[in-house]
Amino acid sequence: MDRRTLLASLAAAPLVRGRQPSDRLIVDAMGELRTDYPSSLIGEMLASGMDAITVTLCDPKPEGAEAVALALDAIAEHDRFIAQHPTLLLKATTAADIDRARTSRRLAVFYLYQNTSQFGRSVDRVDLFHRLGLRSCQLTYNTRNEVGVGCWETGGLTEFGREMIDRLNHTRILIDLSHANMETMAGAIEASSAPVIVSHTACTAVHQHRRNTTDENLRRLAGRGGVVGICQMRPFLTTKKKDNLSAYFDHVLHAIRVAGIESVAIGSDRDHRVIELTPEYLAELKREEGAQVVDSDLPYFIDELNGPRRMEVVWDGLSKRGLTAREVELVMGVNVRRLYRAVIG
C-alpha cells in the first residue's frame, strides 16, 4: 500500500461515542501527545478536563527529502494512533470537532508542524498536507529557512515567506509564529490576512529568553486578532528550579495586561507524562533533541505542572490570581476555539 492510500484509509477509521462533557472548555494550543502514550494516560488527560490539543507531528530540524518523508510518515503514525483509540481520541480538522469531541468525551487532536521545511520551495505542497489533515504550521524553527528566520539568528521574513503566508491563508492553515525571531514575527503578523498564533512562548518583559516574545509583538498579534499561548517550559519562565509555580502565572497575567484577555491561551509545550530526571529519561531527551539539551536548563518542568492533571492546577491558579470565571474560561480554551473557527473553519 502506498503512503497516500495508507493515509486515506487511516483517516476513515470509525469513531465511537463515550462520556458526556463537563462545563469547562480546555484547549492546549500546543502540547505533546506521544504515540506510545497508554490509554490510561490519555484517560487522565481527559479526566483533567482537556477537550483539545494541537500536537507537533515530527522533528522540525531535518530538511529536503528527509523532511518531506518524516512529515508524511508522522501523519500516518498519528492517524494510526488515533484510530487505535477510537473512544479516547478524535482527529480534528475543524473547530466544530472540538465540540464533537466534547459530546463524545474524547480528546480532539489537531496536527501541527514546527517548520515549513516539508514544503521546500513548493507552495503547492501546502494543499497536499492540508488534505492529509494539517491545520497549523510554524513558519520557522530556531534557525533560518526559506521563509524567514528563527529565534537563534537575525533577519526577517523573505519574499518567499510572503508567498507561503498567502498560500497558508488561502488554504486555511493557521500560521504559528512560535520559534520565530521578533523581526520575522512582526513581518508575518503584518503580512497575514488572517489572525495568527504564537502557540507556545512566554514574555520577554517577565524573563529574558530568546524563545520569548516582546510586548511590542504581543500587541501586534492582539491587534490583528491573534492569540498567544503561554508555555510551561521552566527555562523560558524563570531561573528558579524549585518553588517557581508563581512565575508561570506571572507570564500569563503579563500577557493578559499587554495583549488583552481575549488574546491569551495556554500552550504547554510539555510532555503529559510525570517526568523524573532518571538516566533513562535524560538519554531519551538527548537522543531526541541532541545538542539543544543543556544540562543547566534542566528540569524543563515546573513540579506542580509535571503530569497529565496540570490543566486543573492552571485553572485553579488563574482563579486565585484574581481572574473572573469568564476570564479563566477565555484563557483555558475559548480564545483558541474562537481563533480556530475564524481561521481553519
Place of cell 462520556: 19
Closest CA to 308 of 36, 10, 37, 4: 37
Confidence (pLDDT) at 23? 64
- How would you write the chain as a 3-class SS string? CCHHHHHHHHHCCCCCCCCCCCCCCEEEEEECCCCCCCHHHHHHHHHCCEEEEEEECCCCCCCHHHHHHHHHHHHHHHHHHHHHCCCCEEECCCCHHHHHHHHCCCEEEEEEECCCHHHCCCCHHHHHHHHHCEEEEECCCCCECCCCEECCCCCCCCHHHHHHHHHHHHHCCEEECCCECHHHHHHHHHHCCCCCEEEEECECCCCCCCCCECHHHHHHHHHCCCEEEECCCHHHHCCCCCCCHHHHHHHHHHHHHHHCHHHEEECCCCCCCCCCCCHHHHHHHHHHHHHHCCHHHCCCCCHHHCCCCHHHHHHHHHHHCCCCHHHHHHHHHHHHHHHHHHHCC
Distance CA 344, CA 332 (A): 19
Side chain identity, residue 46: L
Confidence (pLDDT) at 94? 98
Instruction: Report, as ranges of residue numbers, the positions in the chain whose pLDDT lies below 70.
Output: 1-23
| Domain 20-343 CATH class label | alpha beta
Cβ neighbors of 286 (< 8 A, separation 6 or more) are 293
CA dihedral sign, ordered 53, 100, 228, 173: positive
Q: CA 171, 343, 144: angle at the middle one, nearest 5?
A: 65
> Count of CB atoms within 10 A of residue 136's CB?
25
**Are the C-beta atoms of residues 7 and 132 closer than 8 Å to each other?**
yes
**Are the C-beta atoms of residues 162 and 335 closer than 8 Å to each other?**
no
Confidence (pLDDT) at 20? 38
Confidence (pLDDT) at 187? 98
Confidence (pLDDT) at 17? 29
Distance CA 128, CA 240 (A): 44
Place of cell 528540569: 299
Q: CA 233, 115, 213: angle at the middle one, nearest 5?
A: 45
Distance CA 286, CA 295 (A): 10
